[in-house]
Amino acid sequence: MNAAQTTSEAGAGAAAASRAAAYAAPPARVAVPVQLRVPPISTAAAVSKRPAARPPSRAQPAVHLSPVEAKIRALLLDTAAFVQRQQPDRPPLVLRVAGGWVRDKLLGRDSDDMDIAIDTMKGEPFARHLKEYMETVGLEMGSIATIQVNPDKSKHLETATARVFGLDVDFVHLRTEVYDESSRNPTVNFGTPLEDALRRDITINALFYNLHSGEVEDLTGTGISDLNSGLVRTPLDPLQTFIDDPLRVLRVIRFATRFHYEIVRHVLEAAADEQIKTAFMKKITRERVGVELDKMLAGQDPVRALRLIRDIGFYPLVFTPPPELPADVPIQSERAVLGSHIIDLIHSESMLAKLGLLSLPLTPEDLRNLHLAAALLPYRTLTYKHKNKDLSVVRFVVCNSIKLSNIDGDTAHALVNDAPKIRDHALRNASKSLDRMTLGLLVRDLGGRPLGAKWDLAVLMALAEDLADLAAQEADPFAMRLDSDAATSVIAIYAKLLADIAAHGLQNAYQLKHIVDGKDLASLLSLRPGPQIGRYLQIVMEWQLTHPTGTRAQCVEYMLTRHGHTGNTK
């Protein structure tokens, strides 16, 4: 090895070490001024008249890169240059951050992932070049995961994903999509930045951040103005946009309710078109429906989401009943919206503490479950025949129509269909306080699977159902106030039920173990194994609830005295 080679290699090693150190050093937060490339277009548009429930989010004047994002930007640009050095005959790569990251940055929000759109290379090869380049400068990236095409999960393009400096980064190529009327799966090809922007669901999701120039590229011409005006619109004709992929109807609703934006009127009108409904039922899998709906119910405004679903006639398309349910059974979708509104009202007016609810504060999961249950109120108490069995319509819709989990189905069923039983106890308790045993058995019944410690959410749901029934009698059901005389009387009935349960110390009665177990009962009463043991265990629990300070010996004496002669000889 000659001196020149030694010097060259030493210089390369020093450069690599210097580069690695630069990536490792956290730079200051970088504010990149928004330079807009926006084609001039008319911004006149009619919007839906219903006002947003909360102030909409507005775009900020700059994209603020976090220290990690600034490092990633530098790393990706260096990787593009690295590829150019390796393949000098190919056109230089142009890298853009696409979609939600750009939108959120302009709204001043943090984003925990980045989608990198590459103009002339697929995502997986670029991710491998990135890994190779990082190794040359002494950095490690970890494994690259390739997400295959999966139309059932809205994945129409192979995507490479990796963790880069602790952030999830996806790599895809700019693309154009061509849809066939008979299929929900598009043909995907390389596309221009404009083609990629125009194929997206809404304009505020069609923005690019050019990593090279620092420009925010608004190629649809309305993305930035729609962010500032609080509007949701499709980049292309909404009717064709929805026919191509009818799931976009639900995505429009989800983003409108997430950001408290208005939906442009002609977009809503297109969503309600019968062609779109037919295409929705033909093309969209129930799993995709469930993913979008679940995000709405756990989102910022589930009440408005359900209202919009109802207004465009999508309720029976989303919450599709079992085919065995007779067609003439009335489905009042208005009740779903009203029930969700009541849940929102009770929660926002801090009524829960006054009610005596135990599950405080309500978690996001609690609220999501309550709004899911409210969405299913049109199917409350309904059953359908399947293989000579009466099955819950609520459970069918959750598990089959929107493809949520079996636990979700059981929870929704319990919250909705336990209401008559709870109402009966609450009314009887309001008239004359129920005894400790009756109240304890109610808690044990409600606290079985799947609710457990959350059994009192079923009481809250029963109250919401009664308040919804009350509101439905008003000229404007959504104008009912919780401090009205009628509403106050209903709330007092349920508050008394919870107060009496607490006064008897029965909040955890669902966890109470039998003081005499089944094996001992079988021996004491000479019982053969079978259902009768369960009946006697119920008697034991009734005795325990009636005698909270009673001992096991006293319970055994009671069972022998009252029931010893009824046993079956072994």
Read off the pTM: 0.87
Predicted confidence at residue 540, as pLDDT, reads 96
Predicted confidence at residue 122, as pLDDT, reads 93
Count, residues in the chain: 570
The one-letter code for the residue type at 450 is P
Predicted confidence at residue 48, as pLDDT, reads 35
Encoded tokens for 450: 């799947």
Please name which of 95, 68, 70 lies closest in space to residue 82, comparing C-alpha atoms. Answer: 95
Q: Please report which helix (H) or strand (E) contains residue 216, including its range.
A: strand 215-217
Q: Is the distance from CB of 313 to CB of 381 less than 8 angstroms?
A: no
Encoded tokens for 295: 């995000």
Given strand 167-173, what is the order of strands in its sheet?
35-37, 215-217, 208-210, 95-98, 113-118, 167-173, 159-164, 145-147
Predicted confidence at residue 218, as pLDDT, reads 94
Please enumerate in sequence order all residues whose Cβ is within 8 A of that of 553, keeping only pairs 6 or more positions apart, or say none.
none
Q: Which residues pair with 37 in a beta bridge?
A: 217
Q: Which residues pair with 215 in a beta bridge?
A: 35
Q: Please report which helix (H) or strand (E) contains residue 208, including its range.
A: strand 208-210
Please name which of 396, 389, 390, 391 lies closest in space to residue 412, comparing C-alpha atoms. Answer: 396
Phi, psi of 218 (to 5 degrees): -110, 80
End-to-end CA distance of the chain: 96
User: Which residues of the chain are modeled with pLDDT < 70?
Assistant: 1-61, 148-157, 181-184, 565-570
- Whole-angstrom CA distances from 343 to 219, 374, 386, 407, 499 are 41, 8, 32, 21, 20
Please name which of 117, 372, 312 lies closest in space to residue 219, comparing C-alpha atoms. Answer: 117
Predicted confidence at residue 186, as pLDDT, reads 76
Q: Which residues pair with 170 in a beta bridge?
A: 115, 161
Please enumerate in sequence order all residues whose Cβ is within 8 A of that of 56, keeping only pairs 6 or more positions apart, or say none.
230, 259, 260, 261, 262
- Torsion (CA) 265, 271, 275, 278 in degrees, nearest 10: -160
Q: How many CA atoms lie within 13 A of 235 on its CB side?
A: 21
Q: Give Cα 515 to chain centroid, integer Å.
A: 42
Q: Is the distance from CB of 507 to CB of 443 less than 8 angstroms?
A: yes
Distance CA 390, CA 382 (A): 9
Predicted confidence at residue 50, as pLDDT, reads 34
- Token match 């330079």: residue? 35
| Number of C-beta neighbours around residue 45 at 10 A | 16
Predicted confidence at residue 51, as pLDDT, reads 35
